[in-house]
């Protein structure tokens, strides 16, 4: 929030009450002369008396405290001598993607008016009559003036509308009760899942502290009754306890201890691979990082990956939309897939090289196509920022990370810097099995199709007997048979997977490419690979299915 917004917020809160700022979950405007046009993605809300133009806003009030009052705050980039009126809207289910003038919700008589608007600045209107407690709040704005004017919408960023809810917290006199039903189970060799029953309190439980062997290891909110402890030793027993606390700082006695023994470590690396992951924080489907049913499911795919307890993550590019900005990584990728950052091996996608010119509404975009945010976020794990390619060994396997953004790194021919390095790296490895991963797939049935510029890299991998090639770019899952560089079945060829299912959105695969064996274009999920000595197995796991949607095993040739 800007300094101006903070000052206005403090001034408008009732004395002795706390203020909670709520952002709109939807807003739009409708125009009489455009009865079917939907305006939900605009950065402004428009108002006019002729043609009739009115705006709608919908909020979700989360506070469980007593509501002392509510203030609507909007930013006007220009003056209006008349201002606007605020009306209640009974329908709290409308969406900005669907509303137009012809189907706009009905609204009631005005409950408040703004009065004249300044040349540019914030305007506050008391809407306490509309807000009596937690839950949805829907309202409409109208004007009687024929001089049209704008207000900033939720897509405008820091000047988006606000509902400032003043809350009064009752005096808290009692500590919370002891959390009941504490239990734990090992979900891998380095991970333990804990759960417990809710505590009670005379005002409300603010949160829970989790202790491992007497030391605080995590804190969760009052509505969360589970915790995943990570980074543990295999085949080791830990003692866990949980304490509840309230806003007054009073604490329950500690529940537990409960002993949990982690599983024995597997000798084979278990790899999770996926690309095309985290939405831009300003994406209309971002929804606080949780996404919607159809888009921005990066939090859910990261939860799935954590549950698989992998030893390593191969991140297949386009990890942070829209442009790989550093601030976007911190706001979107970090709270989700960032939980696996310590074991992640990334490659850059084309969106990591996005610029302010390409994505003027992207968060933290670089003015030049240098993937600066990506390299700043991942640090040394991403390799040399001028290259983006590197290799390492996992168990008995040699793994090659390639930068498939050919135009950014001197091309993808065998005489290019990366091509020369690749041939030398493969020749120097004595591993029996080799895996290569990159953002762009050589073969794909998705809308981007086959990426012919990677043909020379495929030839080099084929010549050295590589087993697996992984890519993303097309937002679907696809498995190919073993193919040679001519896309012909070949027992000595590479088996390739397209795994662009990390959460951003989904693409269709209408026509199968030669060699395509499995295509799944309606699920978000991850590919799990177990890399054994002389063989490998795979499972495609989705966020919405308990059983693998594709699975198999093969040997190295």
What is the secondary structure of 139-151 as a DSSP string? EEEE---SS-EEE
First-last CA distance in the chain = 59
The CA distances from residue 316 to 346, 531, 536, in Å, are: 6, 18, 19
What residue has token string 């809810």? Answer: 165
Output the tens digit of pLDDT for each of the chain's 557 residues: 232 333 333 333 434 456 788 899 999 999 999 999 999 888 899 999 999 999 999 999 886 657 788 899 999 998 898 999 999 999 999 998 899 999 999 999 999 999 999 888 899 999 998 988 888 999 999 999 889 999 999 988 888 999 988 876 566 788 999 999 999 998 777 888 899 999 999 888 999 999 999 999 999 888 889 888 888 898 999 999 999 999 888 999 999 999 999 988 777 899 999 999 999 999 999 999 999 989 999 999 999 999 998 999 999 999 999 999 999 999 999 999 999 999 999 999 999 999 999 999 999 999 999 999 999 999 999 999 999 999 999 989 999 999 999 999 999 999 999 999 999 999 999 999 999 999 999 999 999 999 999 999 999 999 999 999 999 999 999 999 999 999 999 999 999 999 999 999 999 887 899 999 999 999 999 999 999 999 999 999 999 988 899 999 999 98
pLDDT computed for residue 68 by the predictor? 81
The single-letter DSSP state of residue 355 is B
On whether the CB atoms of residues 499 and 479 are closer than 8 A, the answer is: no
Distance CA 201, CA 245 (A): 9
Q: How far is CA 526 from the centre of its chain?
A: 14
In terms of Cα–Cα distance, which of 122, 124, 123, 92 is closest to 105?
92
pLDDT computed for residue 463 by the predictor? 96
Is the backbone peptide bond immediately before 322 cis, with ω within 30 degrees of 0? yes
Sign of CA dihedral 506, 509, 515, 520: positive
Per the structure block, which two tokens stand in for 307?
Answer: 């549950």
Write the CB contacts of 29 (distance below 8 Å, at least 6 apart in sequence).
39, 42, 44, 45, 46, 47, 53, 54, 55, 56
In terms of Cα–Cα distance, which of 396, 542, 540, 548 is closest to 467?
396
pLDDT computed for residue 66 by the predictor? 73
Q: Strand pairing of 516-520 and 477-483?
A: antiparallel
DSSP sequence for 213-276: TTEEEEEEETT--EEEE-SPPTT-EEEEEEEEEETTS-BPPPEEEEEEEPPPPPSS-EEEEE-S
Distance CA 227, CA 230 (A): 10
What 3-state DSSP class applies to 336?
coil
Compute how many other C-beta atoms are within 10 angstroms of the C-beta atom of residue 91. Answer: 14
On whether the CB atoms of residues 316 and 469 are closer than 8 A, the answer is: no
What 3-state DSSP class applies to 121?
strand
Distance CA 538, CA 551 (A): 5
Q: Strand pairing of 112-113 and 85-88?
A: antiparallel
What 3-state DSSP class applies to 152?
strand
On whether the CB atoms of residues 143 and 149 are closer than 8 A, the answer is: yes
Burial of 549 (0-12, 13-18, 19+ CB in 10 A): middle
The CA distances from residue 257 to 39, 44, 178, 195, 211, in Å, are: 55, 55, 12, 13, 9
Write the CB contacts of 518 (distance below 8 Å, at least 6 apart in sequence).
477, 478, 479, 540, 550
On whether the CB atoms of residues 35 and 51 are closer than 8 A, the answer is: no
In terms of Cα–Cα distance, which of 390, 389, 391, 348 is closest to 371?
348
DSSP sequence for 376-439: HHHGGGG--TTT--EEEEETTEEEEE----GGGTT-SSTTSHHHHHHHHHHHH---SEEEEE-S
Distance CA 323, CA 463 (A): 35
Is the backbone peptide bond immediately before 98 cis, with ω within 30 degrees of 0? no
355: Cα within 13 Å, side-chain hemisphere: 6
Distance CA 315, CA 388 (A): 13
The pTM of the whole model exceeds 0.85: no
Rg of the chain over all Cα atoms, to the nearest angstrom: 27
What 3-state DSSP class applies to 210?
strand
Distance CA 539, CA 548 (A): 6
């Amino acid at each position: 929030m800007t300094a101006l917004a903070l000052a206005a917020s403090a001034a408008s809160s009732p004395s002795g009450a706390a203020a909670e700022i709520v952002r709109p979950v939807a807003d739009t405007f409708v125009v009489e002369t455009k009865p079917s046009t939907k305006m939900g993605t605009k950065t402004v809300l428009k108002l006019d008396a002729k043609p009739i133009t009115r705006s709608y806003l919908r909020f979700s009030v989360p506070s469980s405290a007593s509501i002392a009052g509510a203030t609507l705050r909007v930013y006007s980039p220009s003056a209006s001598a008349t201002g606007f009126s605020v009306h209640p809207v009974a329908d709290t289910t409308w969406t900005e993607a669907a509303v137009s003038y012809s189907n706009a919700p009905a609204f009631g008589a005005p409950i408040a008016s703004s009065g004249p608007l300044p040349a540019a600045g914030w305007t506050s209107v008391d809407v306490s009559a509309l807000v009596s407690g937690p839950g949805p709040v829907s309202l409409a704005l109208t004007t009687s003036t024929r001089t049209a004017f704008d207000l900033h919408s939720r897509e405008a960023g820091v000047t988006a509308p606000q509902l400032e809810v003043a809350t009064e917290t009752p005096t808290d006199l009692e500590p919370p009760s002891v959390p009941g039903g504490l239990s734990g189970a090992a979900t891998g060799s380095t991970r333990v899942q804990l759960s417990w029953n809710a505590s009670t309190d005379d005002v409300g439980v603010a949160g829970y502290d989790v202790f491992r062997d007497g030391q605080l290891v995590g804190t969760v909110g009052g509505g969360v009754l589970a915790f995943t402890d990570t980074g543990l030793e295999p085949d080791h027993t830990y003692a866990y306890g949980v304490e509840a606390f309230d806003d007054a700082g009073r604490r329950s006695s500690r529940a537990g201890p409960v002993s949990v023994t982690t599983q024995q470590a597997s000798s084979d690396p278990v790899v999770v691979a996926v690309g095309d992951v985290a939405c831009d924080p300003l994406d209309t489907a971002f929804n606080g990082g949780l996404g919607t049913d159809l888009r921005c499911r990066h939090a859910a795919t990261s939860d799935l990956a954590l549950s698989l307890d992998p030893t390593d993550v191969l991140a297949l590019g386009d990890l942070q939309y829209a442009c790989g900005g550093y601030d976007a990584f911190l706001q979107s990728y970090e709270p989700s897939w960032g939980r696996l950052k310590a074991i992640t091996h990334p490659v850059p996608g084309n969106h990591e090289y996005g610029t302010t010119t390409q994505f003027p509404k992207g968060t933290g975009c670089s003015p030049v196509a240098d993937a600066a945010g990506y390299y700043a976020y991942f640090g040394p794990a991403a390799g040399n920022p001028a290259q983006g390619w590197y290799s390492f060994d996992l168990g008995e396997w040699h793994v090659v990370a390639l930068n498939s953004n050919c135009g950014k790194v001197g091309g993808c021919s065998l005489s290019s810097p990366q091509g020369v390095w690749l041939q030398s790296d493969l020749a120097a490895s004595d591993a029996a099995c080799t895996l290569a991963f990159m953002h762009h797939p050589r073969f794909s049935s998705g809308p981007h199709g086959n990426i012919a510029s990677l043909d020379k890299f495929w030839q080099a991998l084929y010549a050295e007997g590589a087993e697996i090639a992984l890519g993303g770019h097309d937002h679907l899952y696809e498995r190919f048979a073993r193919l040679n560089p001519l896309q012909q079945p070949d027992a000595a060829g590479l088996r390739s997977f397209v795994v662009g299912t990390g959460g951003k959105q989904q693409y269709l695969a209408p026509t199968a490419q030669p060699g395509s064996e499995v295509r799944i274009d309606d699920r978000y999920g991850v590919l799990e690979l177990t890399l054994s000595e002389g063989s490998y197995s795979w499972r495609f796991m989705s966020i919405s299915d308990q059983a693998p949607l594709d699975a198999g095993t093969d040997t190295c040739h």
